[in-house]
Structure 1
Amino acid sequence: MNFLFFILTTIGTFLLMEIVTWLTHKYVMHGFLWYLHKDHHQPKYQHTFEKNDAFFVIFAIPSICLFYFGLLPSLNFMFFIGLGIFFYGITYFLIHDVLIHQRFKWFKNTKNKYLLGLRKAHKMHHKHLDKPDGECFGMLLVPKKYHKQYK
């Protein structure tokens, strides 16, 4: 296996994770695991953690397993799939918890049109407080109308 294959595997996995995220958010988080996600849709909570944070652990498990099996008996493609999931997880944390929900005040005053569009789309997602309603289930790819609002 060559270096280019490993890089493309990592990038491809990262990109596919947006589809996995959209499907999981719509059909799992707003489906049978709504009881874990519900508190995330409630008006400002006063706790450091919420039940929804369990999804970080749920998504980390496949990545950790892929890292492990990607090193045994020697480095293989599974490691780089795990790496793509890991990079997406870091990106998700920075976009969702830091930029959008401001759980950490690192990027409070951004003027970037793309980032403001992500924030607006997620705000529209959160206007729905119940399980069946919803829009904008993705994280990095949202309808262009949310980006066009910012000039």
Structure 2
Amino acid sequence: MTTLAAVAVTTATFLGMEFVAWFMHKFVLHGALWFLHRSHHVRHPHHFERNDFFFLFYGALSMLCIIYGSPTKDWHFWVGVGIAAYGTVYFFVHDVLIHGRLRFWRKSGNTYLRALNMAHKMHHKTTGRDGSEEFGMLWVSPRYFALALRKPAPPARRRVSSSNS
């Protein structure tokens, strides 16, 4: 497979995963698998949620594609790479930035990331199975961009260290 084809397959897979994530989230997670996804919509004192099991599914799918396609670096390999890349971005944006599951990236002044955060917060406004909106992960409705542009980013906080003089 040529480099251009590999990049095209990886990019198409990454972009396609946004549709897969939206579809699965809207119709499966808020449908038949709500009993697992519900843990993501309610406050709890645990570090992990039942919802985290979905990572295992996509991670296994990615790993299988990469392993199967490794000997020849055919399209299976690059599909696996695309799924893994989407999962990595998903983890940092969704789990780290939006939900603060790791405390090293809390806020952003970036308009896109702020709009994404607003849209996701709107999704979590409803804690039940029905009534949610904004099921995608990286695609943001234009109204949230408009809101993020209208509402300025909060000023960055400076850490003041106290020194013993």
Provide the TM-score with structure 1 as the length reference: 0.95
Query: Using the alignment, how far apart are the partners of 2:101 and 2:146 within structure 1?
Result: 26
Which residue pairs with 2:163 in the alignment? none
Which residue pairs with 1:27 in the alignment? 27
Q: Deviations over 1:37-81 (max 9, x none)?
A: 001111x31001010100110111110110111124x22110000
Matched ranges for 1:33-52 at <5 A: 33-42=33-42, 44-52=43-51
2:127 maps to which of 112, 117, 129: 129
Work out whether residues 97 and 107 of structure 2, in 8 Å CA contact, stay in contact via their aligned partners in 1.
Answer: no
Alpha-carbon deviation of 1:106? 2.1
Which residue pairs with 1:53 in the alignment? 52
Query: Using the alignment, how far apart are the partners of 2:108 and 2:97 within structure 1?
Result: 9
Query: Using the alignment, how far apart are the partners of 1:12 and 1:127 within structure 2?
Result: 32
Query: Using the alignment, how far apart are the partners of 1:104 and 1:145 within structure 2?
Result: 28
Greater CA deviation, 141-150 or 5-14? 141-150
Which residue pairs with 2:14 in the alignment? 14
Alpha-carbon deviation of 1:148? 1.3
Query: Using the alignment, how far apart are the partners of 2:14 and 2:29 within structure 1?
Result: 20
Query: Using the alignment, how far apart are the partners of 2:90 and 2:101 within structure 1?
Result: 13
Query: Using the alignment, how far apart are the partners of 2:4 and 2:89 within structure 1?
Result: 22
1:150 maps to which of 123, 148, 151: 148
Secondary structure of the residue that 1:55 maps to in structure 2?
A: helix
Give me the identity figure in percent.
42
Q: How many residues align?
A: 149
1:112 maps to which of 110, 113, 117: 110
Provide the TM-score with structure 2 as the length reference: 0.87
Alpha-carbon deviation of 1:109? 2.8
Alpha-carbon deviation of 1:134? 1.2
Which residue pairs with 1:70 in the alignment? 69
